[in-house]
Structure 1
Amino acid sequence: MVPAESQVRFCFGRDDLLRTRFAIAPLIEVAAATYVLRLPARFPEHRRFVESALPRLAGLDLDLLYAVNPLGRRAWPNFNAPPPVSPHPGIADELARVARTAPRIVVEDVRRACPEGVPAHLWPFLEDPERALADLVAQTRSFWDAALAPWWPRMTDFLESEIAARARRLVAAGGASAFIDLDRMVSWDGEVLTVSSAAMASRDIGLAGRGLLLIPSVFAFDVWPRIDAPWDPALTYRPPGVGDLWQRDIGAGSALEELIGRRRAAILRVLEQPASTRTIAQRTGWSPGGVSTHLGTLRRTGFVARRRDGREVLYSRTEAGDALVSRS
């Protein structure tokens, strides 16, 4: 088992800050969305997306797509969702890249992700990687068309605004400003970007003039270092404000949102299960301070209760809060 305090350290040389760049990655969104749709209770902030996508996915054969995005593991293959090589690639171009992956790389990547032995659902990628790759590309396209394509314009607008905001920081405050507030598990000391990750063993990655690719992702539920060859080093992260992405357009909000406001309505919906302020902030992408303010209002109006559980304070909906959500 990998220790909880494991760290991936990206070591910057003289030119690496100058070569730090951003990209939107449709295939990484596909990979992350497969987890959201299979574990919807863990991602209440994406409820509207889940409700939209699941009916469209019914009846599709997605066994290989789910196989390369396995549940309950600390490592998974990368060949199906490699870091992009251009700032904003289209899905067709990215799928064409995957289709051109050398069979040797597919086999090596699957074995790397499964050092304890490759499970049966991944055997097609070892036994006939070319055919499995072609089938995976077809399944990924079907998943994209059904689940993500209807939302992609809204998602790209959101991601482009995140990249633009960080780019303005780069111009105004210098290269290191790109790393401010990426994630609470990320720290920067001027030369090394450190990512605490329980998902992989500690490693030092010398960027050696390649720079670092930063990939904001709507569906990322953690910060993901991408460090395995033959792909360039990359870091996928979740931008702030994801909780607002699925909200209806202004003027088309639900009765609950009109009554108590979009953010308080979203917090009530997140509280399907008791959660701490920090957990709610992580799920919505909002600041803990802002979440705390809204929770205070919801408590005073009788829609939320709180209790202490060890060192944490957990919030949950009251009967009045349940009734309000069920009627919306």
Structure 2
Amino acid sequence: MQRTGAAPPIDVAYGLMITFVLGVEDLANTRFALSPLHETLLSLRVLQDPGLSALHLPWRRSVLGGLAPLDTGLLMSLVARRRTLPDFLTPTPACFAPSFEEQLAAVRRVPPARVRHDLRLTHAPDPLPEALRDAVTGDDAAVAELRDALCALLRQYWKVAIEPMWPQMRRVLEADMTYRARQLALGGARLLFADMHPNLRWHNGELHIDKMISSHRVAAFGRGLLLLPSVFAHKPAPPVSPDVPPELVYPSRGVATLWESTGESASAADPRALVSLLGAPRARLLGLLEEPLSTVELARRLRVTPSAVSQHLRVLHATGLVNRARAGRQVLYRRSALGDRLMAGADEAVSVSPGT
């Protein structure tokens, strides 16, 4: 897929700033979420310009062959020359981890007037691409038809390019959120944003996002701040429009390891060797932690005491095989990317039976 346009590098050409003004209530309402639709849209920028990140070249090579049946002209028209994307196609997640279909349903409900506004704002000051121009300049029925066509196209693209790798991507994103939550607990907002990206700066209740293509201030007014770690984001990405409540997509940690498991040299673990390495109790725990679970729930499923489970979880966490994050009064554990690779092919031997 060709790189479009011959504009200078965007990160150098623009040096404006977007600022989020956050009060005490907004910091209390700061939360994290996953967005499969955000990742789907952001991946289009890597397809358009592979130079954005060499880390994603294995992924890009693996998906290009499957895009032939898709209308790639319409798909790539969503990425502006400045690499901005339409806000209406990245709705705010309604919960911690909505499904792709749930988010796409929200897009289908967007009024034509907003679709028209967001597409024009995304590409401004450039003219709309030909693939969008006729529909956007038409009546509401034409805009609604374009919106639905984009939803159908994005669903096809998701199936080919993102869904097969979404479980691995989700592990990386959740590991990042675990780390960030710990930073917030240890040092507040200043430590949370300290190493998120060089373009971010926290000062006197304001989050400054540098090297943007526009400049404006957004007061949260109690709406909080939504943080969305991303595999495909190469720098912080707030909404294009200042009318959208404060949210920030930022580059996730751990992306460098994401595509390692797709290599031909990756081999499945020997189930018997896994049990020998970890011991049967810890291997069974690792098998259960495909989803986030608390110590009490793990103990219930294994029919043992929570203290027995806690001992094994401490070891698994110390060796990097599981991640943990606090959710209210509970601590939830989940397999890390390393734990996933260790478990590959070992499920048959690691049956979940009582007794630890």
Partner-residue secondary structure (3-state), 1:79: helix
Cα distance, 1:227 vs. partner? 5.4
Stretch of structure 1 that moved more, 11-20 or 132-141: 11-20
Stretch of structure 1 that moved more, 117-126 or 207-216: 117-126
Please tell me whether the aligned partners of residues 231 and 255 of structure 2 are also in contact (alpha carbons under 8 angstroms). yes
Partner-residue secondary structure (3-state), 1:195: strand
RMSD: 2.4
| Consecutive unaligned residues in structure 2, runs of 5 or more | 1-9, 268-356
> Does 1:147 pair with 2:161?
yes
Give the structure 1 partner of residue 237 of structure 2: 224
Match of 1:244 among 229, 241, 257: 257
Give the structure 2 partner of residue 20 of structure 1: 30
Give the structure 2 partner of residue 125 of structure 1: 136
Give the structure 2 partner of residue 113 of structure 1: 122
Alpha-carbon distance in structure 2 between the residues aligned to 1:42 and 1:94: 26
Stretch of structure 1 that moved more, 243-252 or 83-92: 243-252
> Does 1:91 pair with 2:104?
no
Cα distance, 1:9 vs. partner? 1.1
1:216-245 per-position Cα deviation (integer Å, ceiling 9, x unaligned): 100011211125265321111102221111
Alpha-carbon distance in structure 1 between the residues aligned to 2:109 and 2:243: 14
Stretch of structure 1 that moved more, 230-239 or 135-144: 230-239
Cα distance, 1:253 vs. partner? 4.8
Q: Which amino acid aligns with 1:90?
A: S
Matches within 5 A, 1:113-262: 113-116=122-125, 117-123=127-133, 124-127=135-138, 128-200=142-214, 202-226=215-239, 228=241, 231-248=244-261, 252-253=265-266
Query: Highest CA radius of gyration, 1 or 2?
Result: 2
Change (3 A) 1:80 1:65: farther
Alpha-carbon distance in structure 2 between the residues aligned to 1:75 and 1:169: 29
**TM-score normalised according to structure 1 size:** 0.71
Matches within 5 A, 1:16-95: 16-70=26-80, 72-73=81-82, 75-95=84-104
Cα distance, 1:250 vs. partner? 10
Q: Which amino acid aligns with 2:65?
A: P
Q: Which amino acid aligns with 1:207?
A: A
Change (3 A) 1:93 1:190: same
Partner-residue secondary structure (3-state), 1:214: strand
Stretch of structure 1 that moved more, 21-30 or 109-118: 109-118
Q: Which amino acid aligns with 2:92?
A: P
Change (3 A) 1:27 1:153: same
Taking CA–CA contacts closer than 8 Å with sequence separation of 6 or more, which of the two structures ends up with the larger relative contact order?
A: 1
Cα distance, 1:3 vs. partner? 7.1
Cα distance, 1:175 vs. partner? 4.0
Identity %: 33
Give the structure 2 partner of residue 302 of structure 1: none
Change (3 A) 1:54 1:90: same
Please tell me whether the aligned partners of residues 122 and 240 of structure 2 are also in contact (alpha carbons under 8 angstroms). no
Paired positions, count:
252
Change (3 A) 1:206 1:88: same
**TM-score normalised according to structure 2 size:** 0.65
1:258-282 per-position Cα deviation (integer Å, ceiling 9, x unaligned): xxxxxxxxxxxxxxxxxxxxxxxxx
Alpha-carbon distance in structure 2 between the residues aligned to 1:250 and 1:147: 16
Q: Which 4+ stretches in 1 moved above 6 angstroms?
A: none
Q: Which amino acid aligns with 1:21?
A: R
Q: Which amino acid aligns with 1:45?
A: L
1:75-94 per-position Cα deviation (integer Å, ceiling 9, x unaligned): 44211123323211100001
Give the structure 2 partner of residue 104 of structure 1: 113
Please tell me whether the aligned partners of residues 18 and 212 of structure 2 are also in contact (alpha carbons under 8 angstroms). no
Please tell me whether the aligned partners of residues 7 and 197 of structure 1 are also in contact (alpha carbons under 8 angstroms). yes
Change (3 A) 1:16 1:248: same
Change (3 A) 1:163 1:146: same
Please tell me whether the aligned partners of residues 17 and 176 of structure 1 are also in contact (alpha carbons under 8 angstroms). no
Cα distance, 1:251 vs. partner? 11
Change (3 A) 1:61 1:11: same
Alpha-carbon distance in structure 1 between the residues aligned to 2:146 and 2:14: 34
Please tell me whether the aligned partners of residues 25 and 215 of structure 1 are also in contact (alpha carbons under 8 angstroms). yes
1:296-325 per-position Cα deviation (integer Å, ceiling 9, x unaligned): xxxxxxxxxxxxxxxxxxxxxxxxxxxxxx
| Consecutive unaligned residues in structure 1, runs of 5 or more | 255-328
Change (3 A) 1:133 1:251: closer
Alpha-carbon distance in structure 2 between the residues aligned to 1:197 and 1:34: 21
Stretch of structure 1 that moved more, 120-129 or 159-168: 120-129
